[in-house]
Copies of this chain bind each other. A is one copy, B any other.
Amino acid sequence: MVHRANISQATLVRLPGYLRYLTDRAKEGYEHISSTVIAKDMHLNPVQVRKDLAVASRVAGKPKAGFSLTELIRDIEDFLGFHHVANAVLMGAGQLGSALMGYEGFTNYGLNIVAAFDKNPAVQGKKVNGKPVLPVEELSRVVKENHVSIGIITVGKEHAQEVAETLIAAGIRGIWNFAPQHLLLPAEIAIKHEDMAASLAILSKKLFDLDN
């Protein structure tokens, strides 16, 4: 979870990218890195890199040497809340839902999927990728007992709105929607649409720009 307020969305979105890049360099055995090198490898502006890093870390870079990799990685992980676990439930234990239950990134990101919920009795009571699959009747109890703040929606698009309302009724305050479906929700609910169409549009534009 993010703990400081004064951060632009643009910077926030870039931080996980720095983290992956820096982790890579640390694995290769480097101990320091300069903003100019980061900028070149990530196709960014070096001043932007320094400003972004300064938002997440108070560690000073050393002229000539650059920044300490381990300190930088630690501070960005702290800033992004990777060391502070948040609980989530997942709605819809289909193919995409099952894949997310086993997604190797989430544990690193501080996201813990407590349980999945599915209306199919054949999977209820079973475990998928180590996560229990339960009937929706148990949602409210699980949310309360585990202080779950995030609901992940991986049902078919025709059920997404209904499932979102069920989540809100159960006490969820943040929704991560993987269904290709617009959700009409009250303003006090945080919503992030995992937008495959938008991602594809961005990739297409990059391809187009390379040709023109």
Q: Which of A102, A174, A182 has the most CB of B within 10 A?
A: A182
> How far is A7 from B201 in the complex, measured between Cα atoms in Å?
12
Distance (whole angstroms) from the CB of A167 to the closest CB of chain B? 13
Do B98 and A200 touch across chains, with their CB atoms under 8 A apart? no
Which of B2, B24, B180, B197 is close to A201, meaning CB atoms less than 8 Å apart?
A: B2
Look across to chain B and name the residue whose beta carbon is closest to the beta carbon of A98: B95
Q: Which of A23, A192, A204 has the most CB of B within 10 A?
A: A204
How often does this chain occur in the complex, in copies?
A: 2
Do A202 and B13 touch across chains, with their CB atoms under 8 A apart? yes
Do A192 and B184 touch across chains, with their CB atoms under 8 A apart? no
Does A122 lie at the interface of the complex (its beta carbon under 8 Å from any beta carbon of B)?
no
Do A205 and B12 touch across chains, with their CB atoms under 8 A apart? yes
Within residues 134 to 182 of chain A, which ones have a CB less than 8 A from any CB in chain B? 149-150, 156-157, 173-174, 176, 180-182
Which of B13, B21, B43, B156 is close to A198, meaning CB atoms less than 8 Å apart?
A: B13
Do A193 and B109 touch across chains, with their CB atoms under 8 A apart? no
Does A194 lie at the interface of the complex (its beta carbon under 8 Å from any beta carbon of B)?
yes
Q: Which residues of B contact A210 (CB under 8 A)?
A: 173, 188, 190
Does A206 lie at the interface of the complex (its beta carbon under 8 Å from any beta carbon of B)?
yes
Within residues 73 to 110 of chain A, which ones have a CB less than 8 A from any CB in chain B? 80-81, 86, 94-96, 98-99, 102-106, 108-109
> How far is A18 from B21 in the complex, measured between Cα atoms in Å?
33
Does A203 lie at the interface of the complex (its beta carbon under 8 Å from any beta carbon of B)?
yes
Which of B102, B129, B192 is close to A203, meaning CB atoms less than 8 Å apart?
A: B192
Does A130 lie at the interface of the complex (its beta carbon under 8 Å from any beta carbon of B)?
no
Q: Which residues of B contact A191 (CB under 8 A)?
A: 203, 206
Can you list 10 A-B contacts (CB < 8 A)? Answer: A1-B208, A3-B208, A12-B198, A24-B182, A43-B187, A81-B201, A95-B95, A95-B98, A176-B200, A191-B203
